[in-house]
Amino acid sequence: MNNYANTILPSMSAIYRTHMKIIGDILTTTRDDLPDEQGASITYLIRKANISHSRISKILGTLVSQGLLEQTNSSGTFKYKISNVGREFLQAYNTFNKFADSFGLTI
């Protein structure tokens, strides 16, 4: 398994699926729905992903450390943009989400 998949997808439980969906939503937002060129702030992502600050902070930290998101410091606030690796991961996620959906399952 890929390093980032090992790290950001820790368990095989129901929580895992929610976690995976949240990651998909965050990556999709940072790819398709950025408020400005600098990237999306944590507040913006919290609103889009609809999760708590503490939870999204952990997820963002992991996504940045795994190279799926790029973090920039703009006027004292951190902003996030999807990286090329993140785009490839998101493409794989969307493709195999449809594949699993065909079997009536969710990845």
Report if residue 76 touches other proteins, rule: CB under 8 A. no
Rounded CA-CA distance 46/52 in Å is 7
Binding mask 13-52 for other proteins (x = CB under 8 A): ---xx--x--------------------------------
Report if residue 96 touches other proteins, rule: CB under 8 A. yes
Q: Which helix (H) or strand (E) holds 71?
A: strand 69-74
Rounded CA-CA distance 75/7 in Å is 30
Rounded CA-CA distance 4/68 in Å is 8
We find the least distance from the C-beta atom of residue 10 to other proteins, in angstroms, to be 9
Rounded CA-CA distance 61/82 in Å is 13
Task: Give the interface segment with other proteins, choosing from 1-9, 29-37, 42-50, 56-64 (CB under 8 A).
Answer: 1-9
Q: Phi first, then psi: give them for residue 99, nearest 5 degrees.
A: -60, -50
We find the least distance from the C-beta atom of residue 77 to other proteins, in angstroms, to be 30
Binding positions for other proteins, rule: CB under 8 A: 1-2, 5-6, 8-9, 12, 16-17, 20, 85, 88-89, 91-93, 95-96, 98-107
